[in-house]
Structure 1
Amino acid sequence: MDGVRLKYYNKKIQQLKELLANCSDLEQVSILHEIIDDTPYKTKNYMKYMHKGYYIKHNKEELIDNSLKQIKLQVNDFPSKNIVEIIKNRYSVRDYENREVSFEAFSQIIHYSFGVKHVAEGVYDRKSYLFKYTNSQGGLNYLDLYIIVNNVEGVEQGLYYYDFIGNKICQIDNGNMRGIIKEIHFQNEFTAYSSFLCIVVADLRRVVPKYYKRAYRFAHVDAGILLAYLQLLAENNGISSCIVAGFLEHKIETLLNLSKDEYPIATIGFGYKSRSFNVV
């Protein structure tokens, strides 16, 4: 049985599939949208949305504490190009050179998309509360960023988790993982040749207590904004990228040891475009 949610909810999923079997794909999307669109206006259950507070988990302490090694990112001020020119020059590139990405460029891309932007006082009754550069519904910091490094200056090949609070990458596994990348992206083999690849995961345990089922919708909005930041920051450093939706979700769940409440949203590969690249 493939997929962590199938393991827990297989019978219920099959029952729903049978109910929707005679509906078109578009009809199924409409029905599921209404089920997920959980708002006080529709439910009339206004008291459900009255909160005194909720538990907020910023990162995975156990994963970080048990990591094989931790590498602090190197963040310096860097020259920024005109944003319009960056957008004009950005293309989805699927053909990369076998070229090393500098650690400084790698650090800038990760930090200025997903790192700490500022600290506020009194938010959620906390003395200090960290906010990222990227958007996050309710400021709940529920997105996680995993990175597979293939060719980054001074960084051993392997799988990493980005600890945004400590601004460091934490190694979960080491070694050449191009074969694993190729297996996950069964129809997008070009990803195996990227210098590094990011995996965006939404941990809905951290955000559903506030926004209920509608949190699922905004998880994709926030992830999309993060992906755009990653792309633009990479382009600013002369590094190309390509977002990938075609991946085997259960393979990512196994690789990252995800729970049933953690959802892989997208992956994105980075590298210097081949000299033979042409805009189509």
Structure 2
Amino acid sequence: VAQVVLGEADRGPLWFQLYLQPDRGFTRALVQRAEAAGYEALVLTVDAPVSGARDRERRAGFTLPPGISAVNLQGLQAPAPAALQPGQSPLFDDLLTRAPSWDDVIWLREQTRLPVLLKGITHPADAQQALACGVAGLIVSNHGGRTLDTLPATANLLPAIAQAVGGALPLLVDGGIRRGTDVLKAIALGATAVLVGRPVIHGLANAGATGVAHVIRLLRDETEIAMALSGCRTLDEASAALWSRQSG
């Protein structure tokens, strides 16, 4: 797993984010294509069996521009809707009957030589179950707050999950990483590493690849400044005790 996290010297790691599809054959073929393309890990999103109630997204009326589509899902046939009886729910009696389960996680591991990380873990019991399934790592994520309303911030969820896995596998955290101080706090709360989303997208939109490199450089510089001002010579010294001092 450490090799996957580090990647090669001339580029970052190649991870393929995967949503399990109802058609297992299609999912298997997609995984095989990812392997053939040189991807080094699969990141399975597990916290969105259905879309959340995204009111702001609906009000904005956003649609994909012409020419932009989910190209990796081309050829996927939509499953036939269930024949519902009066009073049945199209959500619970149709869509959720095909929602992935822990058995599907085990099935996915059997289909690939790549390490599988689960993205969207928010509860210690799920972290322990994932560990029992033999996954290679966990990503603590609340899906950017865009799926389940009122879900706590990942900073609040992280300590209990870190305690539940006890260092048995890499623990990444996603969501809310904006400054170097956020990076240091995440490490202090038990994360092995952080994932950065929106700042990188902002840098890309502003100045392309140079903008992305600038954002990453800023985060590194800010993290080193935060470490120095907190008395941490290495990230190993960023512990829960540091968080307590900052909170006080």
Class of the TM-score when normalised by the shorter of the 2 chains: under 0.3
Bigger share in strand: 1
More helix by share: 2
| TM-score, length-scaled by structure 2 | 0.26
* Bigger relative contact order (CA 8 A; separation at least 6): 1
